[in-house]
Structures are given as C-alpha cells and as structure tokens.
Structure 1
Amino acid sequence: ERRNPWDEAECGHHYARAMAAWSAIPALSGFRYHGAEKRVEAAPRIHPANFSSFWSTANGWGNFTHVVREGRLRFSLSLAEGSPACRSVSLRRAAGAESKSSARLGSRSLDHGLSRDGVEAVFTFPEDITLRPGDELALVL
C-alpha cells in the first residue's frame, strides 16, 4: 500500500496546510493565553473598535468581543467548554480611555487592580478566576 503524500503523522494524520489556515485566527485576533501565568491577552489587529472572534486554548474555548464606544473599551470573554483559569487580562486600551474600570463574572462584581503602560491596560485579580461553561467575564475601561 502506498503512503498518502499529504498525510502528516505529526499533525494527527491531517493535511498540515489545511490546519495552518487556522493560524490566521490567533494572528488577527491578537488573542493569547499564557497557561503558566494564567494571563489572557487580547489585541485585535483588525477592526479593534468592533471585534469579535472565536478563541481556543488547551483547556477551553469560546468567544471574545473587543468593542470601543464613546471612548470606553468593553471586553468580554465567554466560555463554551472547558475550565481555564485567569489571573490577569491585558488589553489594548482606547486612546484617552477613562480612569474608571469595572470587572464582572456574570452578575458578580470582581475586585481587581489596574495598571497601565502606554496603550496596554492590565487587569489583575487577587485570586485565580476559573471560568465554567456559560460564564462571561466582562471588563470595562
């Protein structure tokens, strides 16, 4: 029997080029998850004022939105499946964004710290937040 030249054993016997097409999603969405640091980063490369995308990590997947209206950045991370932990979230903030911030997990308000460095704003939580299916983390800056 002759081996299929497009079969990639290293890629679970899938055609690697088709799988490579998925790399555009994290590249354009600017979504990163650092498991060891429990850190989420979101910096959309296209349409950052009104962006929504699928995200996936080793321990969960869902959708996120990044919307700027009236100088306020609204970020939401919803979980469809899995249970990723989160200790901090790094966002590219809108120019001249308000100094007020809020963080919610569903209807529950979350204590958080906020640091800024240029266009980056980092929400830090005093303890790990473990998301469950159906949860939505909402941050406003």
Structure 2
Amino acid sequence: MNRELPMSEGYLVVHVTTARGSIPLEGAAVSVRANEDADTTPRADILYATVTNRDGNTERITLSAPPRENSMSPSEVPPFSTYHLEVRREGYGVQSFFALPIFAGITAVQPVDLIPLPEDGTSDPLRPADERFFESSPADL
C-alpha cells in the first residue's frame, strides 16, 4: 500500500564564499533538486533556483521535510528529506552537494567555498574544477 505521508517544511540558507571563506560571493547561482528516494541521483527538475546577495547568502529556501514526530521513535523512514544542491559562478569551479538532509522546522546553513579557475580557463590537474560532496545520513536517528 503506497500511502502519502504528511509533509512539513524545513529550510535552507546557502552561504557562498571564496578565499577559504573570507570573501562573500555575490551572484552565485544556486539550484536545489530533490533526490530520487534514498539514492543520491538528483531529479531533473529544479525545485528552487536563486542567486546569492552581496553577503554571499541566499534567501531562506523552504523545502518539504517529514514531520518532526517521525524522529520520536525508531522507523525505517528517515526523519528528514534529502536534496541535491549545485552552486555555480562564472570564473569559479562548480560545487555539488548530494543527499543534503533537511529536517522539519530547522534552518540548515550550507557553507560553500568556491575556488577560482585559472585566468587562462584551464583546470588545475591537481585540483578538479568541479567538486562533489556527498553528505552522509546519520545512521541511527
């Protein structure tokens, strides 16, 4: 029986910087997609797209998450939803975050430190231009 579970809302703020977190980046494009169930494969449709302000922050993004009550007792269903986050800005490498957990009623702040590309447009063979980060789900929630 496939029953729809009631959903609540969780929140996400993305803080984009460069120079190891010391310079906020305005105008970074941020996109959020849902993950396919427990898989880390992002869905094709973008749920939310925005750009960062002069402080390097997005506005607070509202996302669906299971109700808090789901975390009160052991269950096969995790008490959070997972999302795929991608951050781009011209002149910088792309960063992607997979399985980013969002809990109901909680504002998650995701720091992103973009790395400038060389001026000649080539990538550094020792440091990939595009980086991918996989968030790990807490094992026993």
Question: TM-score, normalised to structure 2's length?
Answer: 0.30
Question: TM-score, normalised to structure 1's length?
Answer: 0.30
Query: Which structure shows the bigger proportion of residues in helix conformation?
Result: 1
Query: Which structure shows the bigger proportion of residues in strand conformation?
Result: 1
